[in-house]
Amino acid sequence: MLPDMSVFTPGQVVEETGFSLDTLRYYERIGLLEPVGRNAAGQRRFTQDDIGWLGMVRCLRDTGMPIAEMLRFAELVRAGEHTIPDRIALLEAHDRRVEAQVANLREKQTAIRNKIGYYRAVSC
């Protein structure tokens, strides 16, 4: 019998998302992930939707959004379509922070490169 390709074992999700199994369980515990479905034996079986949501979580985490704010976003998503304007607002605010982050990083990087240049100059 073909495996059901629309469900994923914890191991597959670890592989796909790069989150550790402990982190996945932690995210479920705190409610960042909705209660994940289980098979007869009580083992988690993730849906394609879960994977998609985890992709979003990965984006937000990697861009520095704190878990508390991701929780707020998760609640908006669960509350239904009428929260879409709020979700847009939240993501736009975050996008602005990411932009500022990049600008700051670039600025500091310039200073570091200047320092490297200075070291090169004195060591020649």
Partner DNA sequence: ATGGCACCTGGAGTCGGCTCCAGGTCAAGC
Partner DNA sequence: GCTTGACCTGGAGCCGACTCCAGGTGCCAT
Please give the residue ranges that form the binding site for DNA (CB under 7 A): 9-12, 14, 20-23, 25-26, 40-44, 61, 66-68
Task: State the Cα–Cα distance between residues 53 and 13, nearest whole angstrom.
Answer: 12
Q: How would you class 112 by CB atoms within 10 Å of its CB: exposed for 0-12, middle for 13-18, buried for 19 or more?
A: exposed
* Interface with a copy of itself, residue 100, by CB under 8 A: no
Q: Which does 112 bind (CB under 5 to 8 A by kind): DNA, a copy of itself, none?
A: a copy of itself
Instruction: Please state the three-class secondary structure of 75-106 as a single string.
Output: HHHHHCHHHHHHHHHHHHHHHHHHHHHHHHHH
Interaction pattern, residues 68-87, with a copy of itself; x per rule: CB under 8 A: -------------x--xx-x
Task: State the Cα–Cα distance between residues 78 and 53, nearest whole angstrom.
Answer: 12
Closest separation in Å from C-beta 107 to a copy of itself: 9
Question: What is the binding site for a copy of itself (CB under 8 A)?
Answer: 55-56, 58-60, 62-63, 81, 84-85, 87-88, 91-92, 94-95, 98-99, 101-102, 104-106, 108-109, 111-113, 115-116, 119-120, 122-123
